[in-house]
Amino acid sequence: MDIRIRLGRNVRALREAKGWSQEDYADRAGIHRTYVSDIERGRRNPTITVVEKLAEPLGVTAGALLDGD
């Protein structure tokens, strides 16, 4: 599976588990909502710095967002 798709699925699953909308999550991560949407759909190739920003509010490591099949 493409790593961008894996990242997007992990971000979405964790965000939804917390009950956050994309807008809520984007505010917490300091990233624009449309960028979060693109990441969740696997349409962006974020830098490792952005992956770290995505992980922090979810309470996981950047590596955890990249784990999977």
28-64 pLDDT, tens digit per residue, is 999 999 999 999 999 999 999 999 999 999 999 999 9
The torsion region of residue 13 among left (phi > 0), alpha (psi -120 to 50) and beta comes to: alpha
Instruction: Say whether pLDDT at 68 is over 90.
Output: no
Confidence class for position 69, pLDDT limits 50, 70, 90: low
Closest CA to 15 of 46, 59, 49, 61: 59
| Concatenated DSSP letters of 38-64 | HHHTT-----HHHHHHHHHHHTS-HHH
Tell me yes or no: is domain 3-58 CATH 3.30.390.10: no
Instruction: Give the residue-averaged pLDDT of 13-22.
Output: 98
